[in-house]
Amino acid sequence: MADAAVKQEEALVVEGLTRRFGALVAVDGVSLRVAPGERRAVLGANGAGKTTLFNMIAGDLPPSEGHISLFGRDITRLSPQKRVLEGVRRTYQKSLVFGGLSVRDNLYVAIRGATGPRLAIWRRVETQPDRDGTGPLAERVGLADRLDAPASELSHGEQRQLELGMALAHTPRLLLLDEPAAGLSTRERESLMAMLADLPRDLTLILIEHDLDIALKAVDFVTVMHNGRLLAEGTPDEIAANQDIQDIYMGKHGQ
Ligand SMILES: Nc1ncnc2c1ncn2[C@@H]1O[C@H](COP(=O)(O)OP(=O)(O)OP(=O)(O)O)[C@@H](O)[C@H]1O
């Protein structure tokens, strides 16, 4: 049918998004449009409102005002769980990996969370779906040879890789990564960024990043926030050439 070739929707549209905490306006009328498959960085100094913006997109925090649409569907009032089913997945600044479980079991828990009711964990092992899914997932994030290692024994970089693997278990359409490279060594950052670059283009990726150099290498487009507002948007080249942004907001955070 000719009509099947429908116009492709934006992956994410955020309109006039605002979040107040008492008198503080943490996010102040932010509007964004992110194309399907785009790699976008959200930059800004501490307290700029980046995580609050993520919290509202993921449904962890209701907005005070504004709207959020995912592939043309208004998700502003959906619960975080329903947004996961719609394809939104996020990571947090603080690790949510289970240290006492192996890499395999962490990935399995993530897969189960995506595919079955919570209590189905009590079903007989052989009747549980997707047990084989842990291997390919571990391979995607460079942990194929660490499947049986307890997560607590992973390096910081490997833990970040595991978090990414857990987020990918839900085959997200929109992946929100909150400072995925924080605390990593230069080598670990490079390897994580290479992994992100290898993610399929049917996945739309937004990452919060403090390090301007990392962000500019990893993305197609950059949004800069300051004091809850959108300060600038542009390609990495445009942002790199913007001396005000470099000096005032990013210079002190570069490493
Ligand atoms: N639950 C909350 N209650 C009150 N104030 C909050 C809450 N969450 C965030 N804030 C405030 O909102 C503002 C924006 O915080 P947010 O964490 O979104 O910034 P950020 O850009 O992610 O900063 P960072 O880079 O330090 O994580 C800050 O002033 C913060 O103190």
Q: Is 26 in the pocket of ligand 1 (CB under 6 A)?
A: yes
Give yes or no for a contact between 206 and 175, defined as CB atoms under 8 angstroms apart. yes
Residue of 17, 18, 24 with the most ligand 1 atoms within 8 Å of its CB, for mutation: 24
CA distances from 81 to 69, 73, 85, 244 (A): 16, 16, 7, 40
- Measuring CA to CA, which residue among 96, 61, 97 is closest to residue 78? 61
Residue 72 falls in which region: left (phi positive, over 0), alpha (psi -120 to 50) or beta? left
Residue of 30, 42, 43, 52 with the most ligand 1 atoms within 8 Å of its CB, for mutation: 52
Residue nearest to atom 2 of ligand 1 (CA): 21
Residue type, 10: E
Alpha carbon distance 192, 214 (integer Å): 11
Domain that holds residue 72: 7-253
Give pLDDT, residue 249.
61
In a domain, 2, yes or no: no
Residues 28-79 have pLDDT tens digits of 999 999 999 999 999 988 899 999 999 999 999 999 999 999 999 999 999 9
Residue type, 128: Q
Give distance in angstroms: CA of 50 to centre of ligand 1.
8
In a domain, 148, yes or no: yes
Q: Is 51 in the pocket of ligand 1 (CB under 6 A)?
A: yes
Kind of pairing between the strands at 204-208 and 174-178: parallel
In a domain, 31, yes or no: yes
CATH of residue 146: 3.40.50.300
Give yes or no for a contact between 159 and 141, defined as CB atoms under 8 angstroms apart. no
Q: How many domains does the chain have?
A: 1
Please give the model's pTM, rounded to 2 decimal places.
Answer: 0.86
Q: Is the ipTM of this structure higher than 0.90?
A: yes
In a domain, 1, yes or no: no
Q: State the CB neighbour count (10 A cutoff) for residue 141.
A: 25
Supply 103's token pair: 């890499």
Alpha carbon distance 95, 93 (integer Å): 6
Q: Is 21 in the pocket of ligand 1 (CB under 6 A)?
A: yes
Residues 115-152 have pLDDT tens digits of 554 444 444 555 555 567 899 999 999 999 999 999 99
